[in-house]
C-alpha cells in the first residue's frame, strides 16, 4: 500500500439488522381472476385506455401467485432474512366488506409458511394502493366508511396470519393513495379533486388508527404494528423568504398531513390555513385524531429522492418537476403555485436525482419526531434500463453504487444515534411499475416478461453478500 493510501474502513451493520426486499401484490401476483379475487381500482385503472404506458396491466404481472415457492427459494439463495409483501384486499375480501374468501387467505398462509421454512422473516403490508373497486364505487377513500371497512379487513388478516407474522404495516405511502389517486389522477382511481384528496388523506389517517386497534385486538402482544410513509425531504431553491415559505407549504402537504395525526394527534395549523380555500376540514370528527394517534411499535421509511422547491415567481418552464408523473392537475391542493425544480446530480431511469444525504436526513428527522420508535427502511431502490448480456447475465453497476451509497447513509444514521433495524430493497424483482407499466425496472432480479424467467442481477448478488456478512462489499466487486 502506498503511503498516500489509507485502508477503507468496512461499513458494518449490527448483527440483528434485517436484510430484506419488498414487493406489492398487484405489481407481482397476477392471477387477477383466480380463487375469488375481484377487481381493485388498479385493475380498473390499468384497463382504461391511456392510463398506463403501453396499456400494460397487472393481469399476469410476474405470476408470483403461481411461482411464489421458487421466488422464496431465490430469496433464500441470495441470503435475505426478511421479505415485505402486501395483501391483495380484493383477493381476501372481494367486495371490501363481509366474510373472507378462504382460498385467498390460503395463498398468504402458504407464502408465510414457505418464508418461515426458509428462515425468512415475513413483514405484511395490509394496503398497497389496491382498494377493492366496489369500495371505490361507494366513494373510495374520500368516504369515511372506507376507513371502517379497512379495520374490518385488518382484523380478518390479523386473525389469519398474526400467529406467524410478527411485523405488520397498515398502509404503504398513504400520500400516494390520497394525492396521486384523487388529486393529480396519475394513480388509480384517477380522480382529480383537491378537496377529495384531503378527505382521502384524513380517512387514511383514520384507517391507520382503526386498523392498528383491530390488529392488536386479535394478535399476540409481541407483534409489531407500523406504517410506511414516503415522507419527503423538501429543500428550498434559495434562502429567499418565498422559497422558504414554499418549503413549509409542501412539507405540510407531503409530511405534516400524516406525521401530525399519526405522531402527534393533530394537523399542523399551517396546513389547515394553507388549504382553507380548498376545504373547511369539516370531515374531521371528534375523536378522529386520537384514533389516528395510536402508539407505534415501528415506523417504515420509503425514500428515493429529495424535492427542490421555490416560490411561484421562479417557476421553470415546462411540466411540473415534482417526480410524480405528468398531469394537468396538481397533487398539492392549495399549493398549486409552488414551483418544483430538478435537483442536480446523476439520475435514475425515473429521472430522480440520486442523493443518499436525503435518506440520512429523513432518518434523523423521524428519530426526532418519533423518539424511541424503531425505524425500518421499507423501500429504497432505483430503476435502470437493465438488459442481459450475450451470456444472459445482467450487470447493473449503477444499482450497486446506488445501494452502497444509500446503505452507507443508513449506517451513518445508526452511528448518529438512529435506531434503524432493517432495510428492504425496492424491489425484489422487476414488475408492473404502476402507470409506467413494465418500462421501468426496479428489481434486483431481472424478469424476462416473455418467459417470466428470473435472473439475479449483479446487484442482487452484491446485496446478498451484504446480507450474509453484514458488511457492505466494495462497489467494484461483481
Catalytic residues: 173, 379
C-alpha–C-alpha distance, residues 285 and 327, integer Å: 32
Collapse the DSSP code of 402 into the 3-class scheme (helix H, G, I; strand E, B; otherwise coil) and give the result.
helix
DSSP string for residues in 214-237 = HHHHHS-TT-EEEEEE----EEES
Bridge partners, 471 (sequence order): 12
Give the angle subtended at the CA of 227 by the CAs of 408 and 333, to the nearest 5°: 100
Q: What's the alpha-carbon Rg for the chain, to the nearest Å?
A: 21
> Cell match 400520500: residue?
175
Residue 118, C-beta contacts closer than 8 angstroms, at least 6 positions apart: 72, 73, 75, 76
Helices (H), 29-88: 41-46, 64-78
Residue 334, C-beta contacts closer than 8 angstroms, at least 6 positions apart: 194, 249, 253, 274, 275, 276, 277, 278
C-alpha–C-alpha distance, residues 408 and 297, integer Å: 25
Amino acid at each position: 500500500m502506498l503511503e498516500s493510501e489509507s485502508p477503507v474502513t468496512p461499513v458494518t451493520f449490527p448483527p440483528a439488522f434485517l436484510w430484506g426486499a419488498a414487493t406489492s401484490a398487484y405489481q407481482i401476483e397476477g392471477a387477477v381472476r383466480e380463487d375469488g379475487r375481484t377487481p381493485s381500482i388498479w385493475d380498473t385503472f390499468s384497463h382504461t385506455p391511456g392510463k398506463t404506458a403501453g396499456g400494460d396491466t397487472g393481469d399476469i404481472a410476474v405470476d408470483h401467485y403461481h411461482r411464489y415457492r421458487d421466488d422464496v427459494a431465490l430469496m433464500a439463495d441470495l441470503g435475505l432474512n426478511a421479505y415485505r409483501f402486501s395483501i391483495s384486499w380484493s383477493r381476501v375480501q372481494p367486495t371490501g366488506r363481509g366474510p373472507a374468501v378462504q382460498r385467498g387467505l390460503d395463498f398468504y398462509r402458504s407464502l408465510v409458511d414457505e418464508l418461515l421454512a426458509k428462515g425468512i422473516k415475513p413483514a405484511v403490508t395490509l394496503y398497497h394502493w389496491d382498494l377493492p373497486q366496489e369500495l371505490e364505487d361507494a366513494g373510495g377513500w374520500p368516504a369515511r366508511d372506507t376507513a371502517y371497512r379497512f379495520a374490518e379487513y385488518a382484523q380478518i388478516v390479523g386473525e389469519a396470519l398474526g400467529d406467524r407474522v410478527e411485523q405488520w404495516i397498515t398502509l404503504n405511502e398513504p400520500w400516494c393513495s390520497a394525492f396521486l389517486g384523487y388529486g393529480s389522477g396519475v394513480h388509480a382511481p384517477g380522480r382529480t379533486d383537491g378537496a377529495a384528496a384531503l378527505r382521502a388523506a384524513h380517512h387514511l389517517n383514520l384507517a391507520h388508527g382503526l386498523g392498528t386497534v383491530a390488529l392488536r385486538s386479535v394478535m399476540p402482544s409481541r407483534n409489531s404494528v407500523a406504517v410506511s410513509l414516503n415522507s419527503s425531504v423538501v429543500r428550498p431553491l434559495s434562502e429567499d423568504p418565498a422559497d422558504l415559505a414554499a418549503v413549509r407549504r409542501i412539507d405540510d402537504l407531503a409530511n405534516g398531513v400524516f406525521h401530525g395525526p399519526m405522531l402527534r394527534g393533530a394537523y399542523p395549523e399551517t396546513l389547515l390555513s394553507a388549504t382553507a380555500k380548498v376545504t373547511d376540514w369539516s370531515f374531521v370528527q371528534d375523536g378522529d385524531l386520537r384514533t389516528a394517534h395510536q402508539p407505534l411499535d415501528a415506523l417504515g421509511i420509503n425514500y428515493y429522492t429529495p424535492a427542490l422547491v421555490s416560490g411561484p415567481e421562479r417557476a421553470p418552464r415546462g411540466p411540473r418537476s415534482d417526480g410524480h408523473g405528468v398531469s394537468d392537475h396538481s397533487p398539492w391542493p392549495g399549493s398549486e403555485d409552488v414551483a418544483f425544480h430538478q435537483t442536480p446530480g446523476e439520475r435514475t431511469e425515473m429521472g430522480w436525482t440520486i442523493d443518499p444525504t436525503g435518506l440520512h436526513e429523513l432518518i434523523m428527522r423521524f428519530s426526532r419526531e418519533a423518539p424511541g420508535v424503531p425505524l425500518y427502511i421499507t423501500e429504497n431502490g432505483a430503476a435502470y434500463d437493465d438488459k442481459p448480456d450475450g451470456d444472459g447475465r445482467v450487470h447493473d453497476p449503477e444499482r450497486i453504487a446506488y445501494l452502497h451509497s444509500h446503505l452507507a447513509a443508513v449506517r451513518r444514521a445508526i452511528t448518529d444515534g438512529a435506531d434503524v433495524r432493517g432495510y428492504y430493497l425496492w424491489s425484489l424483482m422487476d414488475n408492473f411499475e404502476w402507470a409506467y407499466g413494465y418500462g421501468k425496472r426496479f428489481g434486483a432480479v431481472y424478469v424476462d416478461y416473455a418467459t417470466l424467467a428470473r435472473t439475479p442481477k449483479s446487484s442482487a448478488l452484491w446485496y446478498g453478500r451484504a446480507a450474509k456478512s453484514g458488511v457492505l462489499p466494495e462497489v467494484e466487486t461483481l
